[in-house]
Amino acid sequence: MAACLISGRLAVGQEQPVSVALDARERLFEQLATDAEHFDARNILKKVVRVSKPSVVHIQSRKIVQTGSRRTIEEAGSGFVIEVNQQKYILTNRHVVFPTVADGVKISLEDSRQLTVENIASDPASDIAVITVRETESLVPARVGDSGRMEIGDFVVAIGSPFGLTHSITYGIISAKGRKDLVLGTQGVVIQDFIQTDAAINPGNSGGPLVSMRGEVIGINTAIASSSGGNEGIGFTIPISMAMVVVGQLLDKETVRGAYLGVRMDHDFTDSTALKLGLSHARGVRITGVTESSPADKAKITPNDVILSFNGTLVENDDHLANLVSLTPVGNKASLLLLRNRKPIRVEVQLTSRPQSEEK
Instruction: Assess whether 127 carries a catalytic annotation.
Output: yes
Which listed residue (127, 193, 305, 318) is catalytic?
127
Q: Are 237 and 197 in contact (CB under 8 A)?
A: yes
Which listed residue (58, 95, 167, 320) is catalytic?
95
Q: Are 55 and 113 in contact (CB under 8 A)?
A: no
Amino acid at 114: Q
Q: Residue 99: is the preceding peptide bond cis (ω within 30°)?
A: yes
Which listed residue (61, 147, 161, 206) is catalytic?
206
Choose among 93, 85, 143, 137: nearest CA to 115: 137
Instruction: Assess whether 206 carries a catalytic annotation.
Output: yes
Q: What's the distance, Cα to Cα, between the start and end of the chain in Å?
A: 104
Q: What Cα–Cα distance (Å) separates residue 228 from each residue in 65, 95, 166, 248?
A: 21, 20, 22, 36
Q: Are 111 and 61 in contact (CB under 8 A)?
A: no
Amino acid at 112: S
Q: What Cα–Cα distance (Å) separates residue 339 from each residue in 272, 286, 294, 327?
A: 16, 9, 20, 23
CA 315, 319, 321, 327 torsion-angle sign: negative
Question: Which of the residues are catalytic?
Answer: 95, 127, 206
